[in-house]
Amino acid sequence: MIDLSSVYLGIKLKNPLVVSSSPLQKDLGNIRRMEDAGAGAIVMHSLFEEQIELETHELNRRLEQGTESFAESLHYLPEMESYNLGPEGYLEHLARAKRTVSVPIIGSLNGVSKGGWTRYARMIEEAGADAIELNTYYVPTDPDLTGAEIEQMYCDLVAEVRASVKIPFAVKVSSMFSSLPNIARRFDRGGANALVLFNRFYQPDFDLEALDVVQRLELSHPYELLPRLTWVAILFGHIQADLAITGGVHTGIDIVKCMMAGARVAMMTSALLERGVEHIETVLDGMRSWMEDHEYESIKQMQGSMARRSVANPAAFERANYMKVLSSFTLKST
């Protein structure tokens, strides 16, 4: 019998397939179907910092102007009542989800500033979540704001969340740091139990007829997995925090690659939106079949086996690979 179990955030999961944060989780029926299909854990849809600040009426003007957009929004900041049930409703929904299914439930906070909103990390803990995913999504537009200041803002946030809760938490990070290994180590030392690579950067498009900036939700594509595999393979063994991959995971083979790079779990949403929640069963079957064909007995056996420190040619992850790939291309003769 193949052992698909993996340990993430100190929690033993029956398999490494985790459903990542999305509006699907607003429906308890979907959450039940995710468990029935075999998901190892479920990350809830996000509670946004803006929803919390809305309670103090500090963002009314900005909400009306629609000046921000976030990863799980289809438009500029939506009416919070329609997007979600508000902070208290979110906590109640999370508590019901925890009572409804037996798989681990991970709460999700989406924000970047320190302050009162981190008290909701404690409330998510009190609502029964097994862990928290801190979904940091910030687009710096001020040219006077330095990279060092932004990094410190993130590190302060991690430290404040660590001081706020006892349950484990993960930080979902962007790929746009000048030194990802350094910031990963700082998050690790600051108390993060896991790093999730990477938060997807949702970019607006231009409507040339209306001369307007419009929001488009693009689901992930399999090619997006490659930079995530690369960075997990580089980070593996250099930090204590668990590593997770999200973005571009669509098949069982994708999950195998994530495990070999050094991830503890692989997260999936786009494939479920495209093919339905039951696609989880197909993905797990594909993973089992590959492991059987290649005589792997467990997930643990393969984790990190293709990481930078494990392969015979670590230069494949460095500049030498860049030069080799470029020199290998030749034009087709006409």
pLDDT in tens, the chain (334 residues): 899 999 999 999 999 999 999 999 999 999 999 999 999 999 999 888 766 666 554 444 544 444 444 444 444 444 544 445 578 899 999 999 999 999 999 999 987 666 656 788 999 999 999 999 998 877 788 999 999 999 998 999 999 999 999 999 999 999 989 999 999 999 999 999 999 999 887 778 898 999 999 887 788 899 999 999 999 999 999 999 999 999 999 999 999 999 999 999 999 999 999 999 999 999 999 999 999 999 999 999 999 999 987 777 777 776 655 556 556 666 666 6
Q: How many residues does the chain have?
A: 334
**313, part of any domain:** no
**316, part of any domain:** no
CA 198/CA 119 separation, integer angstroms: 25
φ and ψ at residue 48, rounded to 5 degrees: -85, 145
CA 48/CA 61 separation, integer angstroms: 17
CA 228/CA 110 separation, integer angstroms: 21
Exposed (0-12), middle (13-18) or buried (19+): which is 95, by Cβ within 10 Å? middle
**236, part of any domain:** yes
pTM of the model: 0.86
**262, part of any domain:** yes
CA 94/CA 45 separation, integer angstroms: 9
Residue 272's CB: how many other CB atoms inside 10 A?
A: 24
Residue 237: CATH number of its domain:
3.20.20.70
Per-residue pLDDT tens digits for 1-57: 899 999 999 999 999 999 999 999 999 999 999 999 999 999 999 888 766 666 554
In three-state secondary structure terms, 107 is strand
**24, part of any domain:** yes
pLDDT given for residue 63 in this prediction: 44
**314, part of any domain:** no
Q: How many domains does the chain have?
A: 1
Residue 35 structural domain? 6-308
pLDDT given for residue 201 in this prediction: 75
Rounded to 5°, angle at Cα 274 from 203 and 174? 35
pLDDT given for residue 313 in this prediction: 77
